[in-house]
């Protein structure tokens, strides 16, 4: 099951949330480290194939 990575803005803790939970609780995520709800989804945590042009 895919997961989303979130980053806490308070303590910079990164944690993963499984897709089904993230979908439902997207706006209610809480940092497991400090308990802050000031967390942002880290889009760069999703693996994306990068095309290099050179």
**Which one of residues 2, 19, 25, 33 is an interface residue with Zn ion (CB under 5 A)?**
33
3-state helix, strand, coil in the chain (%, to 5): 20, 25, 50
**Least distance from Zn ion to the Cβ atom of residue 33, Å:** 4
11 makes contact with Zn ion (CB under 5 A) = yes
Q: Name the DSSP class of 43.
A: G
Using the minimum distance from each CB to Zn ion, give the nearer residue, 10 or 42. 10
| Distance separating alpha carbons of residues 39 and 33, to the nearest angstrom | 11
Binding interface with Zn ion (CB under 5 A): 8, 10-11, 13, 31, 33-34, 36
């Amino acid at each position: 099951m895919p997961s989303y990575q979130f980053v806490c803005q308070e303590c910079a803790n990164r944690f993963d949330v499984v897709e089904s939970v993230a979908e439902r609780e997207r706006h209610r995520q809480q940092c497991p480290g400090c308990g802050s709800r000031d967390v942002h989804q880290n889009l760069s945590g999703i693996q994306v194939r990068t095309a290099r042009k050179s």
